[in-house]
Amino acid sequence: MELIKKIHSLITGYKTKDVEGAELWVVSWNARYGDCYTDTERAAKAFFTEEDAKTFVKSLKDAQELLNYTESLDIKIQKQK
């Protein structure tokens, strides 16, 4: 897989330098960490391609359906800038 590289400028003291970065898509959702319905936290995974992020979202939705889980997972995909 080829990474989508971007050049970012970092400020170090009074000097700047260019560094490589990557374009990312972050998938986040509500994850349960206890017995009570309020025991949730946001969980997230990052992907280098939008296609991989969408495939992961489908996997989350398929798992939710398989488990007959009816609460909203509030799944979101966000492209990082």
35-77: per-residue pLDDT in tens?
A: 888 899 999 999 999 999 999 999 999 999 999 999 999 999 9
- Model-level pTM? 0.74
Backbone angles phi, psi at 28, to 5 degrees: -130, 155
User: To which residue do tokens 């799944």 refer?
Assistant: 75
pLDDT value, residue 4: 66
Q: What's the Cα-to-Cα distance from 65 to each of 43, 70, 71, rounded to whole Å?
A: 19, 8, 11
Is residue 1 over pLDDT 60?
no
* pLDDT tens figures, 11-25: 666 677 777 888 999
Residue 22, amino acid: A
User: To which residue do tokens 């909203």 refer?
Assistant: 72
pLDDT value, residue 35: 86
